[in-house]
Chains A and B, each alone.
Chain A
Amino acid sequence: MVTVNGARYERTVEPRLLLSDFLRNELGLTGTHVGCEHGVCGACTVLLDGEAVRSCLMFAVQADGHAVTTVEGLTDGGGGPLHPLQAAFHEAHGLQCGFCTPGILMTLVPFLRDHPHPDEREIREALSGNLCRCTGYQNIVAAVRLASDGIPTPGR
């Protein structure tokens, strides 16, 4: 029994089923993406009891009795208005192909909870556990500053 984005799910699964595959294939929450399955790229990052973890480095059975939050949870099922962090990514062009974005958002939610006004170095260190091949990270940093301190992106 696991709570995902506030909803309770009860499933019987094989012990070796990874949490990432459980969320994507059993529950159809395909917003969590899989990029490496060895804990480096961060695309699969979700929250377990409010803390960011690699869902590819956990078996689904280990989430029994715990609360998981995925990117779909930021807009209650993907339909609602954008979360402020999502709106900042849109405003600052903090994404291009978008494949790494869910993992980055779920990394940043607890980070901003613990560091409401981070400086550039703290933001970049917080992001260093999520790989992005398209953006060069610059506009992601700008999005986080916009979300935390309202600093508009250095647009021309």
Chain B
Amino acid sequence: MKPAPFDYFAPGTVDEALALLAEHGHEAKPLAGGQSLIPAMNFRLARPQVLVDLNQVAALSYIRANGSGLAIGAMTRQRAVERSDLVARAAPLLAEAMPSIAHPQIRNRGTVGGSLAHADPSAELPAVALALETRFRAKSVTGERWIPAGEFFKGMLETALEPGELLVEIAIPPLPARSGTAFLEMARRHGDYALVGVAAVVTLDASGRCQAARVALLSVGDGPVLASEAATVLAGQAPAAELARAAGERAASRDVDPPSDIHASAAYRRRLVAVLTRRALERAFERAEKGSGERGAVPSDRKPSS
């Protein structure tokens, strides 16, 4: 299981990287953390002729406040995001999801941009980005553009990025007041890809009713899925166990058409969507009510679900 040969470049700046990608076109592939690409190369499932290693591009690795939102460089290590107090305060949903991503040895090399651009439907970050209405800054030799999360994921391992275009930054908008978030996934083993996962964001109005809700599901289709039907069940309602259950049932019956694979049947995934959505919403509502003013409470127990 040794990778096929390739030409290797390790540019020091974004512009150098973009020039290389433009020059080699579809033969070239960017190398971020390598935690998904290199296994595929070792299995010889992926055989890029040219690798543009982004690990020397220091300018792409940062976590900055962006007003009261966040700006994270695409080459920021997942471990850095996991340890960042800034992220814990500004995006508790992202902070809570991090420990569910594989294992520390993977997160020490894996990057935020790498995971998002790889767009594995079972990965955690795409669903979290979708739930948080994250915006993606993409750059190429011809220019730069912002892509909203809803338009970034195009399908199984497919994104809106054009050949020669690089994801350079993600911007997470600030959480509105009286918001609560929760991340929950069911994996066979701690650190495995999830059978089903849920990233939920709820915002209450002054009277405590649900003003807005975004529930993103992972491992239920060929990309992260926004449970829009479930959101309609929540709109304007007062948080209650029965409400969370109804939203879960709606998400399971109407928002997803989950795949069957060797680990889980479609019927089992539907059941998990119903149960996990309910549990995540209960937790998110609880945090929104407790937070009431203070941005979504930092999750107390860092234990990822399993």
B105 touches A107 (CB 8 A): yes
**CB–CB B55/A16 < 8 A:** no
Q: Please give the number of chain A residues whose Cβ is less than 8 angstroms from any Cβ of chain B in the complex.
A: 28
**Selected interface stretch from B2-10, B123-131, B231-239:** B2-10
Chain A residues within an 8 Å CB radius of B3 = 16, 18
Q: What are 21 A-B interface contacts by the 8 Å CB criterion?
A: A14-B5, A15-B6, A15-B7, A16-B4, A37-B39, A39-B35, A48-B108, A51-B108, A52-B105, A52-B108, A57-B34, A57-B39, A58-B38, A59-B38, A61-B8, A61-B53, A62-B55, A107-B104, A128-B190, A129-B104, A129-B191
Smallest CB separation, A111 vs chain B (Å): 7
Q: Shortest Cβ distance from B4 into chain A, in angstroms? A: 7
Which B residues contact A (CB, under 8 angstroms)?
1-8, 10, 34-35, 38-39, 41-43, 51, 53, 55, 79, 102-106, 108-109, 189-191, 303
Q: Find out whether the CB atom of B2 lies under 8 angstroms from the CB atom of A16.
A: yes
Which of the residues A52, A57, A107, A128 comes within 8 Å of B38, measured between beta carbons? A57
A109 at the interface (CB under 8 A from B): no
Cross-chain pair count, CB within 8 angstroms: 82
A57 to B106, CA, bound (A): 9
Interface of chain B: mostly helix, strand, loop or mixed:
loop
Question: When A37-B42, A48-B108, A129-B106 are in contact, do A61 and B190 touch as well, CB less than 8 Å?
Answer: no
Given A42-B105, A62-B55, A111-B104, A128 contacting B189 (CB threshold 8 A): yes
Which residues of chain A have a CB within 8 Å of any CB of chain B?
14-16, 18, 21, 37-39, 42, 45, 48, 51-54, 56-59, 61-62, 107, 111, 121, 125-126, 128-129
Other than the known A37-B39, A52-B105, what 8 A-B pairs have Cβ atoms closer than 8 Å? A15-B8, A16-B2, A16-B8, A45-B105, A59-B34, A61-B53, A125-B190, A129-B103
